[in-house]
Amino acid sequence: MSDTSAALPPRASSRVLRSLRHNPSAIAGAAIILPIVILALLAPVLPIPSPDATSWTAIRKAPSALHWLGTDELGRDILSRMIWGARASLLAGVVSIAIALVTGVPLGILAGYFGGWVDMVISRVTEALLALPFLIMAIALAAFLGPSLTNAMIAIGLSAMPVMIRLTRGQVMAVKAEDYVEGARAIGLNHLEIMSRYVFPNIVPPIIVQATLTIATAIIAEASLSFLGLGQQAPAPSWGAMLNTAKNFLTQAPTYALFPGVAIFLTVVGFNLLGDGLRDALDPREQ
Amino acid sequence: MHPSLAPDSLASDARPMADTPVLSIRGLTTAFRTDDGWREVIRDISFDIHAGETVAVVGESGSGKSVTSLSAMRLLDPHLSRVSGEVLLNGRDLLRLSEAEMENVRGNDMSMIFQEPMTSLNPAYTVGRQIAEVLMRHKGLSRHDARAETIRMMERVRIPNAAGRFDQYAHEFSGGMRQRVMIAMALASRPKLLIADEPTTALDVTIQGQILDLIKELQAEEGTAVLFITHDMGVVAEIADRTVVMYRGDLIETGPTGKIFADAAEPYSRALLASVPRLGAMAGQVAPLRFPKVDMETGAVTAEPPLARSVDYTAAPILSVRNLVTRFDVRAGILNRPVGAVHAVEGVSFDLWAGETLAIVGESGCGKSTTGRSLMRLIEPRSGSVTLEGRDLLSLGGAQLRGMRRDVQMIFQDPFSSLNPRMTVGQAVAEPMVKHGMIGRGRAGRQRVAELLEQVGLPAAAIDRYPHEFSGGQRQRVAIARVLGLEPKVIVADEAVSALDVSIKAQVCNLLIDLQERLGIAFLFISHDMAVVERISHRIAVMYLGEIVEIGTREALFANPQHPYTKRLIAAVPVPDPARRRMRRDAGASELKSPVRALGYEPPARHWADLGGGHLVMQAE
């Protein structure tokens, strides 16, 4: 009856994991993404032909026992190029979002925490950037930086940054209103300590969700840039570049375009499902 | 664990009433879906309400009182809840009705007033339109007739200038006025039953009195049955004919309010009532007094020892505040120019001695919290001086200021917001001490944290747990341990016990008194709860519109209040004793005045009357 009784409620630290395991959306997302990630990681050790090995005797072959998904216009194994291409797509997705997080979250925290003119400057610039469509901005930046996968990732990351700034700023403003932030000032902590130990840990969940969902967007962007020749450069494989080549042979070899297209579609759906599942699992209203 | 009770229509009830009750709840049981399956939150609840009768459902948080009313109104999410039993409204079982039929019952035969008047009105529509909508929807009135009827309703709930305010929006109404609008909406369709879920909890005490009177009067005119849900025993005593006591989902006891208050049968009911601080219980006492210890199992009350330590008023005060002024600009227009200022704190002066508790009381917006925050410089005051042991706090620079923060600490109102949810209790308690170099992060530090936790009555095992694993009272103890580690000289307790249940409130107050006795800490106890203030404080300052209007010893102030506002404040506190129920006849619709002033406004020079013994009263102009 007393509030000091030693009977504390059971620990709930594994609540998010447990909730994820019961979330059909998260399970479906993970079921799609995990095999793709594992295949991409294992690409060097899998018993598949080199993605760059050309063969004049096997040009544009239909799927067969030897080449499960057929071959392309230079006789390269499409399955092998798909698996190696997954690396480019996933890498582009993860690295560009990492760039967006590393740049966007600190700026968002600064804007939300200090307010005033700091917020004014950061928010106005963010709004100006948000006025540009994401893909248009990524293409413009990539064209400016020069065609390569690295530059494509930087371009995509910077294009995704404004959304991160805005999300972070909003979250910080909500957390800032909590008494514990004022309490941290009252015990004499400085702004850096308050931002890193009181504000940041409390805004992580929605940022994880947004990041997961944005990975899907980044993968499409990378495919688009590679399709336009601004991303992964030949002969290295990438799904977008494969689609670009395949469009020339749509009438002769429709399956060629089908495989990278389906792969992009599945990965994007997978990350979206996972993001939705994470959002439900991390939602405080579900707790 | 409790004997199931006979429906109380069988119990002796002297008042003559219609034979069939308006609402009859029979064996109501509600379960919520959780991760571990269905969990019953209320079990086998049965009671009746007759026409013209008010039944109060009381209990502490988690007792299931709100779930009872939400179940009866079928407002719970059907996917997450399972309701069984019978809810008979005029003989019709609501639990068997379709959702479409229910929509005709809600707002028509039964309606509801919620706790939070600030969020329960739609900000996008005018207030008048929202009331008129009920009339058009349920009574089939034309737009024109609905408008006339709405204005009549608004006049009935005593909204001044009703016709003029019909076309205003919710944000143009104060909290008390919004609650009047809610009542007008709820009563527009002349329901048989009104469910009021903590309708006055978010309101100031003088406004609360007006709203309670209004509900009573309208009920007498219309013969409406009222189901009143509250945690405030003072409100129960004031308004309820019969009382239903709930505890952890079970109905403990039901009976006429007078009988429950005077002679409850169940130990829990007696314990709950014994825990309630009663204004006036301290008459003749000079020093503060601990709350008596109440055994919640048996209801037995044992008095706690009186305070051993007395305040040495001959010494220099530890904290002196002189002419503190804090204003916030009100900006408007495209250029965002200041057009006025909120005079939140205006010329506030007081002294605080070591080992003393000075309470600052007043209603919302009176500037009491801003005073506490200003003297800690969490908000920068405009002018004035704050002297702590001879050092002027308002002139300190950044690093010195952070050093000073050791000596003046703060406890917040909401224990669910005042602890960082991502830090363990141990980290939270250790952090201020580590920051000020008092302990390291090693074993010795951990030992000190465990000591502090034990000092505030928490098991040392709590050290590695997270705040969400604790109840509100336990969290408030963690918050206290956290500031205690710094060995502060002054603690500003901003509504520190207001969010807690009565029994927990008493325990935490006693803890504060214990700590003061042992460590000589001075408390600035900011509160709106007069009964708690009467118990815990040595001296009291009453604030109104940013100024202290009366200050003096607790005894003098309660025995001989001089300022009209102090008198009104004390008179408005509901007394938890149905025998002393008073009908207030001055149920006008006064609103709290606003401290927003035109730019450049300077308050007139104030004159004070000294009644002796440090009892000062501001004189009227």
pLDDT in tens, B464-521: 888 888 888 889 999 999 999 999 999 999 988 888 888 888 888 999 999 999 899 9
Alpha-carbon B508 to chain mean position: 16
With residue B347 as reference, give the H or E element that holds it. Answer: strand B337-352
Nearest CA-CA distance, residue A10 and chain B, Å: 8
**Helix orientation angle between B205-222 and B564-572, rounded to the nearest 10 degrees:** 50
Q: What's the confidence (pLDDT) of residue B10? A: 40
- Taking contacts as CB-CB distances below 8 angstroms, the residues of chain B near A179 are 412-414, 417-418
Residue B24: pLDDT band with limits 50, 70, 90: very high
Q: Among A79-83, B211-215, B357-361, where is mean pLDDT lowest?
A: B211-215
DSSP codes of every residue in A20-87: HHT-HHHHHHHHHHHHHHHHHHHGGGSS---TT---TTSSSPPP-SSSTT-B-TT--BHHHHHHHHHH
**Residue A283, pLDDT score:** 62
The neighbour count for residue B250, using CB atoms within 10 Å, is: 20
Q: Give the residue from chain A lying closest to B421, CA to CA.
A: A202
Count CB-CB contacts under 10 A for residue B445. Answer: 18
Residues B132-149, buried b or exposed e (16+ Cβ, 10 A)?
bbbbbbbeebeeeebbeb
Whether A11 sits inside 8 A of B465 (CB atoms) is yes
The residue of chain A nearest to residue B403, with distances taken between CA atoms, is A188
Look at A75-89, A221-235, B108-122, B423-437 and tell me which has the smallest mean pLDDT.
Answer: B108-122
pLDDT tens, residue by residue, A188-234: 888 999 999 999 988 988 898 899 889 988 988 988 898 888 888 87
The number of C-alpha atoms within 13 Å of A228 and in the hemisphere containing its C-beta is: 16
Q: Is B448 helix (H, G, I), strand (E, B) or coil?
A: helix
Per-residue pLDDT for B589 more than 70? no
CB contact under 8 A, B410 and A186: yes
**Residues on chain B touching A190 (C-beta within 8 angstroms):** 402
Name the one residue in this structure whose structure tokens are 């950044």.
Answer: B398
**Cα atoms in the Cβ-side hemisphere of radius 13 Å centred on A35:** 9
* Cα A54 to Cα A46, A57, A77, A248, distances in angstroms: 18, 9, 8, 19
Nearest to B405 among A6, A188, A202 (CB): A188
**What pLDDT is attached to residue A192?**
92
> Which one of A18, A186, A187 has the shortest CB-CB distance to B35?
A18
Q: Which residues of B touch A186 (CB under 8 A)?
A: 376, 378, 405, 409-410, 483
Q: Which of A9, A186, A202 is opposite residue B421, by nearest beta carbon?
A: A202
Binned at pLDDT 50, 70 and 90, residue B429 comes out as: very high
Query: Within a domain: residue A6?
Result: no
Residue A209 within a domain: yes
Taking the Cβ of residue A185 and every Cβ of chain B, the question of whether any pair is shorter than 8 Å is answered with yes
Q: In this structure, what token pair is assigned to residue B267?
A: 């130990």
Asked if the C-beta of A284 comes within 8 angstroms of chain B's C-beta atoms, the answer is no
Q: Cα distance from B408 to chain A (closest Cα, Å)?
A: 8
CB atoms within 10 A of CB B593: 9
Pairing state of beta strands B193-197 and B37-49? unpaired
* Closest B-chain CA to A201: B422
Confidence at residue A14, expressed as pLDDT on a 0 to 100 scale:
55
Nearest-Cα residue of chain B relative to residue A203:
B422
State the pairing for strand pair B596-598/B337-352: antiparallel
- Average pLDDT over chain A reads 85
For residue A266, is it within any domain? yes
B40 beta partners? B31
Whole-angstrom distance, CA of residue B266 vs CA of residue B615: 44
CATH number at residue A36: 1.10.3720.10
Sheet containing strand B408-411, strands side by side: B408-411, B490-494, B522-527, B357-361, B539-544, B547-553, B616-618, B608-610
Distance from C-alpha of B238 to C-alpha of B216, rounded to nearest angstrom: 10
Residues in Cβ contact with B12 at an 8 Å cutoff, skipping those fewer than 6 apart: none
Do B403 and A188 make contact, defined as CB atoms within 8 angstroms?
yes
Q: Average pLDDT for residues A83-89, to the nearest whole number?
A: 89
Distance (Å, whole) CA A212 – CA A271: 6
Q: By percentage, how much of chain B surpasses pLDDT 90?
A: 29
Burial class (CB in 10 A: 0-12, 13-18, 19+), A187: buried
B507·A4 Cβ contact <8 A: yes
Chain B residues in contact with A12 (beta carbon < 8 A) = 468-469
Opening angle at CA A174, ends A171 and A178, nearest 5: 130
Q: Going by C-beta distance under 8 Å and a sequence separation of 6 or more, which residues neighbour residue B488?
A: B406, B407, B408, B409, B521
Residue B308 backbone zone (phi > 0: left; psi -120 to 50: alpha; other: beta): alpha
* More confident site: B211 or B228: B228
Closest CA to B259 of B579, B574, B582: B579
Contact between B200 and B211 under an 8 Å Cβ cutoff? The reply is: yes
C-alpha distances out from residue B178 to A6, B118, B161, B184, Å: 43, 7, 14, 10
In Å, how far is A199's CA from the nearest CA of chain B?
Answer: 9
Mean pLDDT of A8-28: 67
CA distance A187 to chain B (A): 6
CB-closest option in A3, A185, A188 to B406: A188
For B378, the closest of A4, A186, A287 (CB atoms) is A186
End-to-end CA distance of chain B: 62
Which pair of structure tokens corresponds to residue A26?
């998260």
Size of interface A-B (CB pairs under 8 A): 98
Own/partner contacts of B88-94, CB < 8 Å, gap of 24 or more, are B88/B21, B88/B23, B88/B24, B88/B25, B88/B26, B89/B22, B89/B23, B89/B192, B89/B193, B90/B20, B90/B22, B90/B192, B91/B20
Kindly state whether residue A57 falls inside one of the protein's structural domains: no
Vertex B265, ends B258 and B499: CA angle to 5°?
70
Within an 8 Å CB–CB cutoff, is residue A198 touching chain B? yes
**A1 in contact with B at a CB cutoff of 8 Å?**
yes
Range of A274's domain?
23-43+69-282
Interface mutation target, options A20, A22, A120, A180, chain B, most CBs of B under 10 Å: A180
Alpha-carbon distance B413 to B422, whole Å? 19
Answer whether residue A136 is part of any domain: yes
- Contact yes or no for A2 and B296 at CB 8 A: yes
**Residue A218 forms part of a structural domain:** yes
Given CB atoms, is A179 within the 8 Å cutoff of chain B? yes
pLDDT of amino acid A96: 94
Mean pLDDT for chain B overall: 85
Mutate to test the interface with A, among B252, B379, B413, B420 (most CBs of A within 10 A): B420
Task: Average the pLDDT over B521-536 and give the result.
Answer: 91
> Considering CB atoms only, which of A3, A182, A183 is closest to B474?
A3
Q: Please state the domain count of chain A.
A: 1
The partner residues of B328 in beta bridges, in order of sequence, read B342
What the block records as the tokens of B166 is 């019909």
Tokens 């739609």 belong to: B122
Confidence of residue A157 (pLDDT cuts 50, 70, 90): very high
Backbone phi, then psi, for B250, in 5-degree steps? -110, 145
C-alpha to C-alpha distances, B486 to B318, B409, B438, nearest whole angstrom: 17, 8, 8
Please name which of B458, B455, B388 lies closest in space to residue B424, comparing C-alpha atoms. Answer: B458
What DSSP line would sit under A80-117, residue for residue?
HHHHHHHHHHHHHHHHHHHHHHHHHHHHHHHHHHH-HH
SS3 breakdown of chain B: % helix, strand, coil, rounded to 5? 35, 25, 40
What percentage of chain A reaches a pLDDT higher than 70? 93
Q: What angle do CA A18, A23, A28 make, to 5 degrees?
A: 125
CB B432 to CB A190 under 8 A? no
Chain centroid offset of residue B300 CA: 26
The two tokens of residue B249 are: 């989902």
- pTM attached to this predicted model: 0.80
CB contact under 8 A, A187 and B435: yes
Is residue A116 a part of any domain in this protein?
yes
Tell me which amino acid residue B336 is: N
Evaluate whether residue A76 is within a structural domain.
Answer: yes
CB atoms A12 and B469 under 8 Å: yes
The radius of gyration of chain A from alpha carbons, rounded to an integer in Å, stands at 23
Partner residue opposite A179 with nearest CB, options B412, B458, B474: B412
In sequence order, the 6+-apart residues with CB closer than 8 A to the CB of B467 are B419, B420, B421, B423, B425, B428, B475, B478
pLDDT at residue B19, as a whole number: 67
Does A187 contact B471 at a Cβ distance shorter than 8 Å?
A: no
Q: Is the pLDDT of residue B568 over 50?
A: yes
Chain A nearest C-alpha distance from B473 (Å) = 6
Question: What is d(CA A180, CA A194) in angstroms, rounded to the nearest whole number?
Answer: 10
A2, A4, A193, best to mutate vs chain B, most B CBs in 10 Å:
A4
pLDDT band at B363 (very low <50, low <70, confident <90, very high): confident
Nearest-angstrom CA–CA distance, B317 and B610:
19
Q: What distance in Å separates the CA atoms of residue B279 and residue B534, rounded to the nearest whole number?
A: 7
